[in-house]
Amino acid sequence: MGERRRLGVVALALACATAVSACVPLAPPPYATPSPVLATAAASSDDGFTHAERIALRVWAISCDAYRNGTAWMLDETHAVTNRHVVRDTTHIELTDYQGREYRVVSAEYSRDDDLALVTIDGTFPEAGTLASDEPALGDDLTVSGYALGGPLASVTGPYVDLRVNDLDPTGAEIYYLRLLAREGNSGSPVTDAAGDVVGVVFSSDGERYAGAVTLPRLEAFLADDAKRTEVDASC
């Protein structure tokens, strides 16, 4: 009899334990409510201009028979890159930055192969462009910052649509073909990717929808090889 009673008690205890354990899931687990991410000001320049715009310079050059407008961009604190056709055969070159500061050009030299030129300024420039580590991919949005028609400074963005033969120099290197409006005065403008790094240099346009740019590998080759540059002859 006593054994049976004990068994009964054990069975009852088990039943109770089962009932209690069945109730355990009823207790809600602790829930930490998520906190919203606080909005912060996007990283940008203090004055509203992009990095590409701040390194873009307005070029005004005088040749023996004409005045020219173009754009250049600072490669480092003393050198700026522009197009060969902007500085070739010029006797005088003036550079002006987005705030109107003027820089005197000490010397200029250009590429024999590509429409690229390197000018040296007197003094130092506070900012410099950064060359991209990779070429843009087809379809990437690229931005051209420069002084179309002699200014004011403006940026236009459009997709990189093709790597094609340069119609102005069919035997030369291929060029980036961009779907955006570049105009006279945009020659020498930096072409930047989404990160703001330079991937090319504008040198041609159909004046409507498309622009051509010197590619990143050609730009790197030009900057790396001093021997292939020709000094601008500043005499008429």
Partner 1 sequence: MTEDDPRGPNGPQPEPVPAPEAAQDSAPAPVPAQDSAPVPEPTPAPAPARRRGLAIALGLSLVAVVALAVPLAMLATARSTWEGQNDELRAHVESLTDEVSAQNARIAELEQTEAQLATLKEEYSSAVNQGAQGTELVEELEDIADAYQKCVEAQQEHFDVLRNSELYVRSSIDDSEQSIVAFCDEVTAAYQDFREKHG
Residues lying near partner 1 in the complex (CB under 8 A) are found at 12, 15-16, 19-20, 22-24, 26-28, 31, 33, 36, 38-39, 41, 47-49, 58, 60, 62, 67, 94, 96, 98-100, 102, 147, 150-154
- Select 53 or 197, whichever has its Cβ closest to partner 1: 53
Of 26 and 227, which CB lies nearer to partner 1 in the complex structure? 26
Alpha-carbon distance of 73 to 81, in angstroms, equals 5
d(C-alpha 65, C-alpha 77), whole Å: 31
Comparison of 149 and 194: residue with beta carbon closer to partner 1: 149
Cis, bond preceding 152 (omega within 30 deg of 0) = yes
* CA gap 91, 63 in Å, rounded: 5
> Diameter of the chain by CA atoms?
129
Partners of 142 in the beta sheet? 158
Q: How far is the CB of 85 from partner 1 (least distance, A)?
A: 19
CB of 171 to partner 1, least distance (A): 35
Minimal distance in Å, beta carbon 225 to partner 1? 33
Q: Report, in Å, the least distance between residue 41 CB and partner 1.
A: 8
Nearer CB in complex with partner 1: 102/220: 102
Closer residue to partner 1, CB minimum distance, 99 or 171: 99
Under 8 Å between Cβ of 93 and 110 = no
Output b/e per residue, 133-149; b: 16+ Cβ within 10 A: eeebeeeeebbbbbbbe
* Least distance to partner 1, CB of residue 154, Å: 7
Q: Are strands 117-121 and 141-146 parallel, antiparallel or unpaired?
A: unpaired
